[in-house]
A and B are shown apart, each in its own frame.
Chain A
Amino acid sequence: MKRFLIGVLALTVLVAGFFGWARFLADPPFGPIPSGRLRGELSPPPADWSIAEGIQHLPVEHRGDGLPWSTRSWFILYEGRVHLIRASLFGSGLHERLREDPRVRVRVAGRLYDQVAKQVDVAGVYSAALPALARRQFAIAIEGEVRPLAGNPPVETWIWRLDDPPVAR
């Protein structure tokens, strides 16, 4: 019985240790499990975000519930700014956290950039940006006009434009 108890305890420690590592220490985030603080050199925001081209998922850290929470987010470059994209299919956690606190930190090529997320009108951005997003994330080549269908789409989509934070005085 003692061995059994030790075995159960060891298994529990192993599982808890794995989830603790994944939640707070893994960098980049491990699979679908959100992680903690992103590591890298904090830098002033770049003038040109084309440095993010060629990346499938952008590591994003936010703090809507107090603790650092990092995920890998879909994004597009539109009108020179990074726009984060989240489909309701993957849960509404990011949406809720950014509503609580819009400050985010993103990592591109090992450098960290502080930004402020501002939710934007999906229809305005989506039609223009969908071809690039669909090619990258769904491997679909779109040609020609993109028209939103009437009514609510089955998958709700949220888009946030990342702006430079106000300069501290």
Chain B
Amino acid sequence: MVFVHRLALAILVSVALPACGPWGPLGVIPGGPLAGSAAEVPAAEACGDEVLLAALETRGRWFRHSITLFCFAHDGVLYVPSRNGGTKRWTRNALADPHVRLEIEGKLHVGSLVRVTEMPRGAAHTFLRKVSGVEVEDAQFLLDPPAEGEDRTDLWVFRFEEEAG
């Protein structure tokens, strides 16, 4: 009977705890609250050319919800894009409550997200240099919703505004 109890406890711990946190996302699997130490450098600086991914924690109605996402910085501003953003839970959370925490390389940045409807000229170049390793003559983000039947992702982009120290 002791064995059964221990087994049940082990199953409970392994099933329940990852859903409760404090755990960030595990790869593509969303998680709960983020854990980490306070950042010492601005988020835009922390998300340099070699840093591709960050973890973002948003506030849902009941729970903190964290996911892994791509980040990039342009002209000292950190951006987090979302492909097909209208279908994502974290974007809905961010619109309802913009207060978020961002974990980059194990360090936590506190701030808020603001959805942008127009990206500065050159931001797409920065993105393509970082993701695809290419230089292009001209590039521009298309942030308007795709037309019906158009096979273009509905890209949402948020600007991260970090709280001062």
Contacts and interface: CB of A to CB of B under 8 A. Distances in A.
The answer to whether A and B assemble together is yes
Interface of A: 1, 4-5, 8-9, 11-12, 15, 31-32, 53-56, 87, 89, 91, 126-127, 130, 134-149, 151-155, 157
Nearest to B130: A154
A126 B134 CA distance: 9
Interface string B72-84: 0000000001010
Given A138-B83, A140-B124, A154-B49, 18 more contacts: A5-B4, A9-B11, A11-B12, A12-B15, A54-B149, A126-B134, A130-B128, A134-B128, A138-B81, A138-B131, A138-B141, A138-B155, A139-B152, A142-B137, A142-B138, A142-B139, A149-B134, A149-B135
A136 B15 contact: no
Contacts of A146: 134-137
Contacts of B124: 140, 142
A136 B154 CA distance: 9
Interface string B9-32: 001100110000000000111000
B140 interface: yes
B151 A147 contact: no
Given A12-B15, A142-B139, A153-B133, A136 B4 contact: no
B68 to A, nearest CB: 10
A4 B7 CA distance: 12
Contacts of B40: none
A53 B151 contact: yes
B38 interface: no
A8 B139 contact: no
A32 B140 CA distance: 28
B53 interface: yes
Given A5-B8, A15-B15, A139 B142 contact: yes
20 contacts: A1-B5, A8-B11, A8-B12, A11-B15, A15-B15, A32-B27, A53-B151, A54-B151, A130-B134, A136-B151, A138-B127, A139-B143, A141-B139, A141-B140, A142-B128, A144-B137, A146-B137, A153-B132, A154-B131, A155-B133
Q: 4 tightest CB-CB pairs across the interface, nearest first?
A: A153-B133, A144-B137, A139-B155, A32-B28
Contacts of B49: 154
A56 B15 contact: no
